[in-house]
Amino acid sequence: MSSLPQDLPLPRLTDNALTVLRRRYLRKNEDGAPIEEPWEMFWRVARDVASASLRYDPGADVEAEARTFYRMMANLDFLPNSPTLMNAGRELQQLSACFVLPIEDSMDSIFETIKSTALIHQSGGGTGFSFSRLRPKGDIVKTTGGIASGPVSFMKVFNAATEAVKQGGTRRGANMAILRVDHPDILEFITAKRDTTTLTNFNISVGLTEEFMRAVQDDAEFDLRNPRTGKVVQRLKAREVFDLIVECAWASGEPGIVFLDRLNADNPTPELGEIESTNPCGEQPLLPYEACNLGSINLARFVKHDPDPEVDFERLGETVDHAVRFLDNVIDVNEYPMPQIEKMARGNRKIGLGVMGFADMLLQLGLPYDSEPALEMAGRVMKFIHERGQQASSEIARERGVFPNFEKSRFAKTGPRLRNATVTTIAPTGTLSIIAGVSSGIEPLFAIVFTRRILDGESMLEVHPLFEQVAKQRGFYSQALMQEIAGHKSLADVEAVPPDVRRLFVTSYDIAPDWHIRMQAAFQEHTDNAVSKTVNFRHEATEEDIRRVYLLAYELGCKGVTVYRDGSREDQVLSTGSGVPAKTDQASPVPAKAASIVPRPRPTLTRGTSEKVKTGCGNLYVTINEDEEGLCEVFTTIGKSGGCTSSQSEATSRMISLALRSGVDPAAIVEQLKGIRCPMPSWDRGTVILSCADAIGKAIERYLSSNGRNGGARKRDAARSESLPTGNGVVSTGYNPECPECGTMLELAEGCVVCRSCGYSRCA
């Protein structure tokens, strides 16, 4: 690796950013240890992407262009999508984040696409599919005389294939499945994710048509058509189907909705095909075999204070120019996973320049997110980026030529002459925003203060730097107050914070859903592709609230909507497959007057066994002892002594021992412990271990069973104890989902979850 020129700056990164880079982005040796520094990564990427200029001008000053690209990234003004940071200048060289693959109605096509999906996931990309061309369940298969199993059954095959592909510990496979609302299997599709243990690697969205939306408005019926024959096979009440979509989204956040006809109205190359799907987070509509290269400008870096805060449009414009050239270069140096993808990507040369740090920009400008001035600023900034981006694309077209499919595009007759069929996209920036140390995408703040998990169960407070600055300037900062705020998702009820500060530092759950949609629409008006954003609802939100947001999104010109009701995934995990809430333990009748129970003394001599159980917090050693009267004590040891996990498991075992010597039935103790969940579940010998308490309960149960004294211990409801998604799902406690890798509270935004502490992310 060459050294960094002395006049270039070293990146100034937060501790969280360094953690994320070391875990997921920097080159590693065979032992998994990082072997490059962040500046080396940025310089590697800058030089590799700048080298594309030599294809058009052998005398190009690649070094100067690399310096420009490096400064843009090292100063955190702009960052490309994760695969570019990870792979540029390395052997893999796959730099695209998103792809859409076709699925035709044949076994050959289905399994060829599964193969292609595996190659893309292995290279760090995400995939979108439309399953709308597959014949419905029960339809005839003439070649075999059998009947079709339908789109949802094949989605499960794709899901299993994704589960099997590991991406080197850097990015997890994610998929988008879209089914047209007029497909005969649409009801099965809408309800497919009621069971949280299936399709864990998919986001799903219903493709709504203009015909369907008119039928919803008119309370009319609409046709379901067999895609194999084109014939109408059934008619349904549109509002009833719409209500089912709303009901499922209220329960779990899925399915989302995508307005298919609206996507195709903005399709720049309709002669090349119809847009049927998007990438996993919904912001990038693509033709079959298309890929897109994304990048985001950090708006928080473009507020100048001289003396009043205002947007530095001059510097922003210069960064847009450089970012468009950077992303166009990526298309040329990219190594695509399939020749069909390379042909489409280089034929249309789509790029997606977006933003992050918008909420931080508003804070610096003193504008509450849910205000008319904030909406005005959103439109003003994105209009500027879009127009400047098109100008930059036109300038590159004058140098290098328009995109090869230009004559087949809608620009051929109306202009402008562009290098790129699309220029702007508002994409998720989960881990990128952590590297940049700013808010994600165009989302509001998720929390003002959160608890970050560090080594050995210890934790520390992370305070939003702008809030900390204001709190210290205004004189109300204290560790005690920050600790109090860390237990809230909102400042609304924190009276120690002045009202005007509370009004400015609003979070996702302070903001009425209508404002979320209005902000999405403000950005969508000036964006070529689509906008990734999540509409957050409080737990007590109703289905009618979600219905109103969906209709408002349609009215305001959005291309799709993702919603999430606080705690809704938790509700789903705690319900049975039939949708009936899982049974909870009922308290036994309390006698009018109960006698005090005194535990018998600990015996001098005991006998028992010790068992090692693998938990998410490490190996837990459970010792179970008994005497002549039966079980009398439980001891546990985990990791190093003194940590939070160790102290909690010790406290649990002491209380169990006390209960045993007080005559409590061991089976009753087992029932209370099994099913308790923590943020980091694990597998042990084929059994899911939900927590240390769950591990202790199962160890006692095995001890009783092995000694023939199980006592008929009752099994906890299966939906509560065994159906929790593990390894690739989001585990939540209360209404605060926690990272399965480090335990820090996860942010739910842009159709994804992300941990701002360690960089864990998941978009399905």
Pairwise CA distance, residues 764 & 753, whole Å: 9
Let me know the angle formed at the C-alpha of 253 by 249 and 257, rounded to the nearest 5 degrees.
Answer: 65
Q: Strand runs (DSSP E) across 454-519, as ranges?
A: 459-463
Pairwise CA distance, residues 540 & 698, whole Å: 35
Residues for the chain: how many in total?
A: 764
Residues classed as catalytic: 279, 281, 283
Pairwise CA distance, residues 82 & 476, whole Å: 39
Q: Are 41 and 26 in contact (CB under 8 A)?
A: yes
Half-sphere exposure of 756 (CA within 13 A, CB side): 26
DSSP string, 561-624: EEEEETTHHHHHHTB-TTSPBPP-PPPPPPPSS-----PPPPPS--EEEEEEEEETTEEEEEEE
Tokens for 30?
């065979």
Q: Which helix (H) or strand (E) holds 153?
A: helix 151-164
Half-sphere exposure of 306 (CA within 13 A, CB side): 5
Tokens for 385?
């980026």
Residue 114: burial class (beta carbons within 10 Å; 0-12, 13-18, 19+)? middle
Let me know the angle formed at the C-alpha of 99 by 97 and 101, rounded to the nearest 5 degrees.
Answer: 160
Tokens for 712?
């008929």
Report which DSSP code applies to 53: G
Tokens for 427?
């994409």
Pairwise CA distance, residues 470 & 497, whole Å: 10
Pairwise CA distance, residues 589 & 287, whole Å: 63
The residue to which tokens 């129970």 are assigned:
597
Pairwise CA distance, residues 749 & 533, whole Å: 7
Pairwise CA distance, residues 433 & 376, whole Å: 23
Q: Give the other-Cβ count within 10 Å of 478's Cβ.
A: 12
Q: Enumerate the β-bridge partners of residue 684.
A: 687
Which of 566, 453, 559 is CA-nearest to residue 508?
566
Tokens for 78?
């702009």
Q: In what order do the strands lie in the sheet with 630-638?
A: 607-615, 618-627, 630-638
Q: Are 441 and 354 in contact (CB under 8 A)?
A: yes
Pairwise CA distance, residues 421 & 429, whole Å: 22
Which of 626, 616, 690 is CA-nearest to residue 660?
626
Residue 425: burial class (beta carbons within 10 Å; 0-12, 13-18, 19+)? buried
The residue to which tokens 């166009």 are assigned:
328
Q: Three-state secondary structure along 232-286? A: EEEEEEHHHHHHHHHHHHHHHCCCEEEEHHHHHHCCCCHHHCCCCEECCCCCCEE
DSSP string, 165-203: ---TTT----EEEEEETTSTTHHHHHTGGGSTTSSTTEE
Which of 558, 561, 557, 567 is CA-nearest to residue 537?
567
Pairwise CA distance, residues 340 & 330, whole Å: 18
Give counts: helices (H), strands (E), the chain.
26, 30
